[in-house]
Amino acid sequence: MKALICGDRNWTDKETIRQYLSELKAAGYTEIIEGGARGADTIAKEEALKLHLSTNHFPAQWDKYGRSAGYIRNRVMLDQKPDIVVGFHKDIANSKGTADCLKEAKRRGIITVLIEYKTN
């Protein structure tokens, strides 16, 4: 099964992502799809590789598509038909990319999960 991971570019909580990816692996997920942005995407790729999950990397083509590149990339990732989309974000109300990816996933009937950044 495939999981698409998206999230906040300012996300730094590696442990939360590692733990969630471990749970996905235990549930039978074998592939992680991510968009290559700093923060949650990059952490997800790094942690997935440590867990011996395959990764599929879809960086946005900013030079080609300009400001639309992130939204286009989200749809390309969703076209890979993930079984679940997991967003890691600390302020989803002010998100553009992560919120868009989760909204489009829901529209397509894909299971979505939002993990919010916890601060002490």
pTM, two decimal places: 0.94
pLDDT in tens, 10-28: 999 999 999 999 999 999 9
Find the mean pLDDT for residues 31-58: 97
Q: How many domains does the chain have?
A: 1
CA distance 16 to 22: 10
Q: Which domain holds residue 25?
A: 2-116
DSSP alpha helix (H) spans, the chain: 14-26, 40-50, 62-65, 69-78, 97-107
Model confidence at 43, pLDDT cuts 50, 70, 90, reads very high
The pLDDT of residue 36 is 94
Find the mean pLDDT for residues 49-67: 97
Q: Which residue has tokens 């990397």?
A: 57
Query: Is 90 exceeded by the pLDDT of residue 118?
Result: no
Cα–Cα distance list, 116 to 23, 54, 92, 105, 120 (Å): 17, 25, 8, 18, 13
Query: Is 90 exceeded by the pLDDT of residue 119?
Result: no
- CATH number reported for the structural domain that contains residue 82 in this entry: 3.40.50.450
Find the mean pLDDT for residues 28-49: 97
Q: Which residues pair with 103 in a beta bridge?
A: none
The pLDDT of residue 117 is 80
Find the mean pLDDT for residues 84-100: 95
Average pLDDT, the chain: 96
Rounded percentage of the chain residues whose pLDDT exceeds 90:
96
Find the mean pLDDT for residues 41-63: 97
